[in-house]
Structure 1
Amino acid sequence: MSPLNLSIDELLTTTRTVRKRLDLTRPVEAEVIAQCLQLAVQAPTAGVGQNWHFLVITEPAQRKDLAELYRKGWETNREFIEEHTAAALAGDQAAMYTRVGASAHYLLKHLHEVPVHVIPCIEGRSENLPVIQQAGLWGSIMPATWSFMLAARSRGLGTSLTSYHLFFEREAAEILSIPYEQIMQTALIPVAYTIGDTFKPAVRKPLDEVLHWNRW
């Protein structure tokens, strides 16, 4: 797959969370995933050395098991999701939340059909660490994860950074033979070619509402 002809600014502003527009019927070549990961491993990393890994899942049975954990995680968090959504629907972004909710439910139903799942992992666990050390762990894996998603977008692939399966991370570790005590999963990224490759920048708050100079 040849990269799309996107400028850097276009790539940064149109790499969206893709759910409904994932092509569930088109295979994704292993070499394309490898190309994206080869770029991802060049991301900056906190601390000394590269202490992160990417697990690529293409086997249907494993994807089915992960999707079941994902749905179970969503059910575990359902009350929070519904309360948060209800509050959002009462505000001025109701249309956006309705659209995102429909998209999220679509992925919930079809995750097992997405041809590739990618799980970024980090060596070590963060549960009992002080914030400074947690920041080091997450600050190592997330730049590489985002680089992977940008590289995927540039090649016509859609991605979505999800996390519901992490409610049952230990079970996922057993499915994937991950040594749970030594390796922490940080996300589950569905990857597929997109239906169409034109995406628009998202509606965001004005920069002045989120920008602070020198002091809050």
Structure 2
Amino acid sequence: MDAETVLTTTRSVRRKLDLDREVPQDVLDDCLRIAQQAPAAGSMAAQFRWLLVRDAETKARIAAYNRETAEAAWAKYGHLVEERALASARHLVRNLDRVPVLAIPCMIGRPPADTFSQSAYFGSAYPAVWSFQLALRDRGLGSSICGYHLQDHETDVAALLGIPADVTQVSLLAVAYTTQRDFRPAARPAVEEITYFDSWDSARPRG
């Protein structure tokens, strides 16, 4: 698969995850090696960790924490979300325990308070997360970020998984093979509508 196809067709896959097909560890290892090459700020590349969860009982407990927070959020804000997107999110959350692998990217240390340091901290984590997702796509797998538990239950999941108190769970990804191989680029605003020049809201120069 060429780079442009991977970059433009890597979707947040929820309803098309194959919940019954095993994901071999060697495939995940390949994807993690690729993710390790993502750019990071200074020494922060050495602070990044992955925790992979396959155990059925453990996944069920993590899924329950996610579901509790997600259902509360949907009850309060669900009317603001497009119905199709909401249905897709509900499907994943309510089947999260069936997903073959839950991948939790972590950073040693806690998030800094100031914006500049936060930029370096999370900016050193999410390139690796995205590289992991791209590598999965190239191998016929899909993924979706599903970190609802971070709102209310990060410490509960940390206790469940033995994650030290000074380690931050950056996110949680549901990982599985997909039930279809082909995905299309998503509808997005035109570049001309979202790009400014030299000052905010300045239109593209003519010519």
Whether TM-score is above 0.5 comes out as: yes
**Residue number among 143, 166, 172 corresponding to 2:127 in the alignment:** 143
Q: Calculate the TM-score normalised by the size of structure 1.
A: 0.88
Q: Where does residue 77 of structure 2 map in the other structure?
A: 81
Q: Calculate the TM-score normalised by the size of structure 2.
A: 0.92
Alignment of 1:122-137 (within 5 A): 122-126=107-111, 129-137=113-121
**Residue number among 53, 71, 76 corresponding to 2:67 in the alignment:** 71
CA contact (8 A) 2:44 2:121 kept: no
**Residue number among 15, 31, 42 corresponding to 1:36 in the alignment:** 31
Q: After the TM superposition, which parts of structure 1 deviate over 6 Å for at least 4 consecutive aligned residues?
A: none
Q: Where does residue 204 of structure 2 map in the other structure?
A: none
**Residue number among 15, 19, 23 corresponding to 2:18 in the alignment:** 23
Alignment of 1:166-181 (within 5 A): 166-167=150-151, 168-180=153-165
C-alpha distance in structure 1 between counterparts of 2:77 and 2:190, whole Å: 26
C-alpha distance in structure 1 between counterparts of 2:189 and 2:44, whole Å: 37
C-alpha distance in structure 2 between counterparts of 1:10 and 1:125, whole Å: 36
- The one-character-per-residue Cα deviations of 1:128-153 (angstroms, maximum 9, x if unpaired) are 51111111110110000000000000
C-alpha distance in structure 2 between counterparts of 1:68 and 1:99, whole Å: 23
C-alpha distance in structure 2 between counterparts of 1:177 and 1:212, whole Å: 46
C-alpha distance in structure 2 between counterparts of 1:187 and 1:105, whole Å: 18
- One-letter amino acid of the counterpart of residue 157, structure 2: A
**Residue number among 2, 7, 32 corresponding to 1:7 in the alignment:** 2
Offset at 1:205? 1.0
* Percent identity of paired positions between Structure 1 and Structure 2: 38
User: Where in structure 2 are there 5+ consecutive unaligned residues?
Assistant: 201-207
Change (3 A) 1:202 1:178: same
